[in-house]
Structure 1
Amino acid sequence: MRRDKSLWLVGATALVLGVTGPTGVAQAAGDPARQTLPAGDGWASEGAGTNGGSAAEASRVFTVTTWEQLRAALAVPGTAPRIVKIVGTLNATAAGCSAFEAPGYDFDRYLADYDPTVWGYENPVSGPQEDLRAASATSQGKAIKAYVPANTTVVGVGKKAGIVGGSLQIQGVDNVVVRNLTMESPLDCFPQWDPTDGATGAWNSEYDSMVVYGSTHVWIDHNTFTDGAHPDSSLPRYYGEVYQQHDGELDIVRGADLVTASWNVFADHDKTLMIGNSDSAGATDRDKLRVTLHHNLFKNVIERAPRVRFGKVDAYNNHFVVPASGYAYSLGIGQESQLVAEKNAFTVPAGVGVGTILKKWKDAPVTTVGNLVNGRPVDLLAVHNAEFPAEILRDGAGWTPVLRGRVDAPQALPGLVDHRAGAGRIC
């Protein structure tokens, strides 16, 4: 009954506030919900291109103000184009972590049972409290994931639209647009302690703000990804390790293909953007994971901006503002990757080695051309290879990007991208 009521509310709102249908597209050309990915703008423009729900009829335009309404609007049957407009900030975990707890789960008991002085570091945790933690995590996962169907545009209205604690899942579909949202990273209520992770164990968490999984033709534009009110610096420690409650901001994985991410902000996060999530996924990922990243701001992120496996990834005209402490790398070169990093700008503080911008995970070729560091041309590959002679990277990704729209001089990027990227700045 509750779900039916939500659908009725969403539908009623759409009828009142919905934009015009296909016959009014020309008149609504300035409406971000009706805009489509321009031709030639990155991998998502390949083939039929990406237009999401831009041609939606009025009956399939929904305006939502709560997390429940969003999920209901996305669950309306059918693959005909739809537009979902988000007004305000939707909170997927408004009821708090206790709403997801399985009966009998007790975090203090969990800490006592798996304390390394009792459990040790040799074996993964198991037993009643771990089972209850896993059941609680499953409950949270079901509640905070929203599945975006094919031929859909999800767009924030105005300058203050967003999602807190939710995870948009773009899974096994084609033709999706997500724009103008501030996505505050989901906070995992039930991280798992893994005593076998490294020499001293680690807390591992789930849930990314957005996941593109096995989907094609996806345009992610003018969004802001952030940890918001819960930066890693605010997280407690247990067993001497950070109680990590964040995973990634954006994952593009498991056969996903033809994705353009443009004019987004990725801020204040650790493991930020992963393209390909497993070295053993060649059967699904090889010849896929074609992604374009342009005019994005990566500000104070520790690593994975992005980390790449398998894909032909074109990263151009992005601005990377490297943090003064804790920095690991920006561009991760992984299994069978073919990354082209061209005409980007890096702002690097004193004391951080420029060679660390690139990170070799596996032997794979990479192209780095026309990049600036603190306003000066730098051969990123040569500097990396000089600083890390035991981790030599090969030059030449083996392909030349042709699907590019606007290409700016890298000197202009700090001023241009910093002022125009992110939610609330959509043109």
Structure 2
Amino acid sequence: MRRTVTRRLLAAVATAAVGAAIITLPTPHASAAPGTATGYATRNGGTTGGAGGQTVRATTGTAIHAALCGRASSSTPIIIQVEGTINHGNTSKVSGKSCNTAAGLIELKQISNVTIVGVGSGATFDQLGIHIREARNIVIQNVTIRNVKKSGSPTSNGGDAISMERNVRNVWVDHVTLEASGGESQGYDGLFDMKDDTQYVTLSYSILRNSGRGGLIGSGESDLSNSYVTFHHNLYENIDSRAPLLRGGTAHLYNNHYVRLNESGINSRAGAQAKVENNYFKDSRDVLGTFYTSATGYWQVSGNTFDNVTWSSPSNENRPAGPNPQS
């Protein structure tokens, strides 16, 4: 059964960013300008990261943690320019009054007003995830995060490339590449996860690829405290499912390019409200609907292109929006 989006969703997305009809793919990191936040990250006071603060350079994970710990307070603005490969071998815990870090991942915990931006020849977080927890006003730009595992060796961040959890507000992730080399059976989890009261987030001009799970909003059917997320001008390529998975909350997805969604794509469930407009879906299966649950969600669709998309038959726990998607 197809569900109709409520007027509340229409009002909520009306003030968020509006997509154009032309898809623009993400540009290479080196050419990405700092820019300003878009979408829901502009709400709730806006997302500026460390703008106006000190700029420091880091070539190791330990140096990133040291920069956070060297601030006057946990809210003192800072821009951390990162170059080179960040991995387990150069990422250790650093202690201080203005930070709460840990080894084996980049820990942005109980802090605010931080920008992490790749510069120079680029920044790659190799098998090392970024964890945002009890934090607000965070910007991450121009980096690659790859092959973060939750099982096998080495492990980091529960297998998530970027994860946000527990009272997170205003995060803008822009011009990043998030990639894995398989699914859960190969030790990987999600590329971009939000849970336990995460709100006002934008993911823009980014590439998510080669993963079993693209990402989620809500860790379970009872985790409905996450909302107001914008996904625009992103490329999802060779993703099995969760592109993304929405459990409750409101999301605006526009001008994204999806190719080879192998099992399912945008999975709106547990009362989630998704505005899905001007996206291009190619060589994919079940790109929109409610899947793997009887707890249905809602969607509003307009301007989308479906190119060689196949749809499964409806069932109690499988409610695809197609083959002729309607709001």
Q: TM-score range by the shorter chain?
A: 0.7 to 0.9
Indicate whether 1:306 and 2:244 are aligned. Answer: yes
Separation in structure 1 between the aligned mates of residue 314 and residue 42 of structure 2, nearest angstrom: 37
Change (3 A) 1:93 1:369: farther
For residue 230 of structure 2, give the secondary structure of its aligned residue in structure 1.
Answer: strand
Corresponding residue for residue 7 of structure 2: none
Q: Is the 8 A contact 1:144 1:165 kept in 2?
A: no
Corresponding residue for residue 184 of structure 1: 146
Q: How does 1:251-270 map to 2 (within 5 A)?
A: 251-270=193-212
Corresponding residue for residue 84 of structure 2: 88
Say which one has the larger Rg: 1
Separation in structure 2 between the aligned mates of residue 322 and residue 232 of structure 1, nearest angstrom: 14
Q: Is the 8 A contact 2:194 2:216 kept in 1?
A: yes
Q: Is the 8 A contact 1:347 1:373 kept in 2?
A: yes
Change (3 A) 1:329 1:252: same
Partner residue of 1:321 out of 256, 259, 272: 259
Q: Is the 8 A contact 1:340 1:368 kept in 2?
A: yes
Q: How does 1:203-352 map to 2 (within 5 A)?
A: 206-213=158-165, 214-227=167-180, 231-232=181-182, 243-282=185-224, 285=225, 288-322=226-260, 327-348=262-283
Separation in structure 2 between the aligned mates of residue 263 and residue 356 of structure 1, nearest angstrom: 20
> What is the percent sequence identity of the aligned residues?
25
The letter for the 1-side match of 2:36 is T
1:389 CA drift (Å): 5.3
Change (3 A) 1:243 1:297: closer
Separation in structure 2 between the aligned mates of residue 243 and residue 298 of structure 1, nearest angstrom: 20
Corresponding residue for residue 151 of structure 1: 113
Corresponding residue for residue 9 of structure 2: none
Q: Is the 8 A contact 1:74 1:147 kept in 2?
A: no
Q: Is the 8 A contact 1:74 1:146 kept in 2?
A: no
Which 4+ stretches in 1 moved above 6 angstroms?
393-397
1:303 CA drift (Å): 0.7
Q: Is the 8 A contact 1:62 1:84 kept in 2?
A: yes
Separation in structure 1 between the aligned mates of residue 207 and residue 320 of structure 2, nearest angstrom: 28
Aligned residues: 275
Q: Is the 8 A contact 1:186 1:209 kept in 2?
A: yes
Separation in structure 2 between the aligned mates of residue 278 and residue 81 of structure 1, nearest angstrom: 34
For residue 272 of structure 1, give the secondary structure of its aligned residue in structure 2.
Answer: strand
Indicate whether 1:48 and 2:45 are aligned. Answer: yes
Partner residue of 1:67 out of 61, 70, 78: 61
Q: What are the superposed Cα offsets for residues 48-99 of structure 1, whole Å, 9 maximum, x if unpaired? A: 211111111xxx321001121112212334112100010112112569xxx9
Partner residue of 1:162 out of 124, 137, 160: 124
The letter for the 1-side match of 2:182 is D
For residue 55 of structure 1, give the secondary structure of its aligned residue in structure 2.
Answer: coil
Change (3 A) 1:355 1:87: closer
For residue 186 of structure 1, give the secondary structure of its aligned residue in structure 2.
Answer: coil
**Between structures 1 and 2, the one with greater strand share:** 2
Separation in structure 1 between the aligned mates of residue 216 and residue 63 of structure 2, nearest angstrom: 29
